[in-house]
Structure 1
Amino acid sequence: MLILFGFSRRPRVLATRPGTCPFCGVSGPQRLIEEAGKFSLFFIPIFTTSRRYYSECLHCGRHNEISRQQKDALLRA
């Protein structure tokens, strides 16, 4: 019997906000991204294994990992 299972990570853009990149120092749009790890069985996502949040600079493309509390504060502001 063959059982197909696996893990995947899917990024999802939550918002695009103005900000200053900590890496390149450019003030401009920053994407707020949620990346969720999912366990799949027969290509059907069963449950989420992990979540991480980060902001992405649209100028240099680098990521800055943030906490869930920081993500919530940025979405409220």
Structure 2
Amino acid sequence: MVIWGYRTKMFQLVLATFLCGRCGNPAAHAVLKRVTKFTLFFIPLFPINVKYLTQCTFCGGQNRITREQADQIVAQQQGGPDQGQGQPGQYPQQQPGQYPQQHQGQ
């Protein structure tokens, strides 16, 4: 009998501050790398899927980003004290209507 499956692990690459596309608050976002590996007898062998995403620490909303965007955010955060915080709203680029609009009562 052969036991196989997969296992997913999340790695936090960096924390960056920018405007959240879901809640609209300037908040810290964790840039995460999610790696899914094929396992054989509970031993992870090779990655079958790698995804990058940001997660807002204020509302918990997640947004997928490309590897290039993740690398750029990490380089910007580790570039030095003068480049420490990215411009608000710079990442991630949101498509209009991607998140539900929040209306305030009048």
What TM-score, normalized to structure 1?
0.94
Counterparts of 1:8 and 1:43, CA distance in 2: 9
- Per-residue deviation, 1:60: 0.5
1:36 aligns with 2:28: no
Q: For residue 58 of structure 2, give the secondary structure of its aligned residue in structure 1.
A: coil
Corresponding residue pairs, total: 76
1:48 aligns with 2:47: yes
Counterparts of 2:28 and 2:5, CA distance in 1: 34
Counterparts of 2:74 and 2:12, CA distance in 1: 12
Counterparts of 2:61 and 2:55, CA distance in 1: 6
Counterparts of 2:13 and 2:41, CA distance in 1: 28
Runs of 4+ in 1 over 2 A off after TM superposition: none
Percent identity of the aligned residues? Answer: 29
* Structure 2 counterpart of 1:57, one-letter code: C
* Structure 1 counterpart of 2:68, one-letter code: Q
2:75 is aligned to 76
Q: For residue 21 of structure 2, give the secondary structure of its aligned residue in structure 1.
A: coil
- Give the superposed CA RMSD: 0.7
Counterparts of 1:19 and 1:44, CA distance in 2: 38
1:20 is aligned to 19
1:5 aligns with 2:38: no
Unaligned runs of 5+ in 1: none
What TM-score, normalized to structure 2?
0.69
Counterparts of 1:49 and 1:39, CA distance in 2: 6
- Per-residue deviation, 1:28: 1.3
